Amino acid sequence: MTHSPSHRSVPKRRSARRVRSVALACTAVFVTFLTSCAGSQAPTSTAVKNNAGGRPGAVDPGLGAGGGDEWKKATGSRIRVNQVGYLPTGPKGATVVTRSNEPLPWQLRDANGRVVAGGRSTPRGTDQASGQNVQTVDFSRYDRQGRGYTLRMDGQTSLPFDISAQNYAKLRNSAFRFFYHQRSGTPILASLVGEKYARPAGHVGVGANGDDSDVPCQPGVCKYRLDVHGGWYDAADHGKYVVNGGLAVSQLFGTWERAKHSRTGDPKALGDGTLSIPEHRNGVPDVLDEARWEMEFLLRMQVPSGNPLAGMAHHKMHDRAWTGLPMAPQDDPQPRELHRPSTAATLNLAAAGAQCARVFAPYDKAFANRCLGAAKTAWAAAKRHPKLYAPDSDSTGGGAYGDANVTDEFYWAAAELALTTGERPYLDAMRASPLHKAQVFTPVGFGWQSVAPVARLDLATVPGKVPASERRAAQASVVRAANSYLATQRGQAYGLPMPGGPEYYGWGSNSNVLNNLAVLSTAYDITGKDAYRTGALQGMDYLLGRNALNQSYVTGYGKKVSHNLHSRAFAHELDKRLPPPPPGFLAGGPNTALQDPVAQQRLAGCKPQLCYVDDIQSYSTNEYAINWNSALVWMTSFVADQGTGAGRGRV
């Protein structure tokens, strides 16, 4: 693998996931004043009510000229902070947009306005990722817990934030609850989510709604029908995709394995009875119950024995044609279809199945054996059909998820099977992979198209059945990557471990930031060195408000927060009778490719961190997805554990 931003680990290009049947609505962006157009009434702008200390309508200094208009408008206070807050024992930093190039005095004030700390800022010059002239503030030495703190500097007051050891416990649970909201084939219960978010089961064959328990293939793909009910809806659409599901379920399994085995992990925080899901109090950790909902679907996607391509996994299943917005799952009238199997999907099943066998063995041995059997069958099938690629052209009714390089999937599956079984064929396949001794971590992070880093992280941390020498080598690889990310982070005024060039901010860039942070946190779990913990905690600030847009990208968390995510079910921006996305949904984030009409119209010429718009029609910057929220789950769980100081083991 190359260490290049153009490498295939760049997040998925979902340009085919366009809503062709819905006319582009004339809606207001979060930074604009009221606008309107013929036949459309714009929603109330949040520019004024979300401004704290800034001048509504003012252009941020240092933005530069040229391009579209929206990204040059006011973004609230010029002091950018983590709007959720900071841990008492962690780093505490802010970035300030200013015309000044000289150090400036700053004050930290409590909720009563009393000055509790102060100092002088550090000039950083022009930030590449934003084009803004910025300075940074470090108030890490202040550790008194409290609510409603603000920073003052350069005539500005930041949005309020807390300093608390409990800041991330609630966010972790909301990030987990995302997956319950995304469940297919079951009612979402008011007793668990409230009346506002309750809904009937989707795709259970009621009325014109498709029935996922009896799904045919596309014409010419197969002659059988499969029961593929359950699982999670992938994103804003109603499709279900094995390659995205495999990564998402693996990260949930990995969150549990980290909680059990790392130096600061707290398995009780993820245990039975901790989440609001129907399986609450069944003797199985809730995080595993939720992951099982998707794992069962992945198992159902395997081609039955006696058929051509037996043991392979169908790449995806979704609607025959695209539906418009809004569209609740239970109202979707489109027929459902299975798409042809692929090597990538089959290896995702093998990897996730092997991991499933490990984590479920103490709780449900029969299910663990079922997972392992399916994983071994999938591995053998992929070996027989190593080049059955999913094409980019298969994008009608759902995302293509094309993948013509499965070297990383073979490596990942071999590693997970080796960790679970210790059997020689899997160890040999893992060692024979060209990726085994390569540096698989790239500056742009990893995702569904680049899963070798998942293998490396598990080899480094999971007590399994591979030789100790393999574990030590994997740990050294993770630490080298973490050192590289720390070096990058030091050069970024907004504190994220990703370079500032436009090529690094692609579709789902926020998930790439999170996955780089997972490498830093894993390095901390391996070594116990505070530099990695500090880097991981600091990087979370970017997602929760310390960024060029002063924007928290997690719904429900922060004062200036994304709330118009691209969604069929939570399309409040289009239909006020529908709710907005629930708390804990991660927006995809800045995308310099501007791959939707709204982004193209409103963000032309934007600097990388400014290439985002909180509009329901901006699917290339403002969608959500299961593999992005699984990364959020992993990191919020790590950060929450740092607040509690829990420790159950040593890596």
The rounded Cα 344 to chain-centroid distance in angstroms is 20
Residue 69: the pLDDT is 59
Burial 321-349 (b: 16+ CB within 10 A, else e): ebbebbbbbbbbebebbbbbbbbbbbbbb
The whole-number pLDDT of residue 46 equals 27
**Active-site position among 286, 416, 623, 641:** 623
In the residue annotation, 614 being an active-site residue is answered as yes
pLDDT of residue 633: 99
Architecture, CATH, for domain 169-488: Alpha/alpha barrel (1.50)
Q: What is the DSSP string of 270-292?
A: GSTTSS-STTTTSSS-HHHHHHH
Determine how many CB atoms are found less than 10 A away from the CB of residue 173.
Answer: 21
Per domain, the residue ranges of the chain are 169-488
Q: For the whole model, what pTM was predicted?
A: 0.90
pLDDT score recorded for residue 644: 75
Distance CA 82, CA 60 (A): 19
Q: Which of 272, 614, 615, 641 does the annotation list as catalytic?
A: 614
Contacting residues for 158 by C-beta, under 8 A, at least 6 apart: 52, 53, 77, 79, 80, 81, 94, 150, 151, 152
d(CA 642, CA 532): 12
Reported as a single tens digit per residue, the pLDDT across 479-515 is 999 999 999 999 999 999 999 999 999 999 999 999 9
pLDDT of residue 255: 99
Query: Is 211 annotated as catalytic?
Result: no
Look at strands 240-241 and 215-216 and give their pairing.
Answer: unpaired
Residue ranges of the chain whose pLDDT lies below 70: 1-73, 645-651
Task: Give the model's pLDDT for residue 598.
Answer: 98
Q: Assess contact for 444 and 498: CB atoms under 8 A.
A: yes
- CB–CB of 579/572 below 8 Å? yes
Residue 74, pLDDT score: 72
The residues with which 203 forms a beta bridge, in sequence order, are none
Residue 67 pLDDT? 40
Query: What is the tens place of the pLDDT at every residue in 308-321?
Result: 999 999 999 999 99
By DSSP bridging, strand 133-138 and strand 215-216 are unpaired
Q: What radius of gyration, in Å, describes the C-alpha atoms of the chain? A: 24
In sequence order, what are the beta bridge partners of 447? Answer: 450
- Per-residue confidence (pLDDT) for residue 636, from 0 to 100: 98
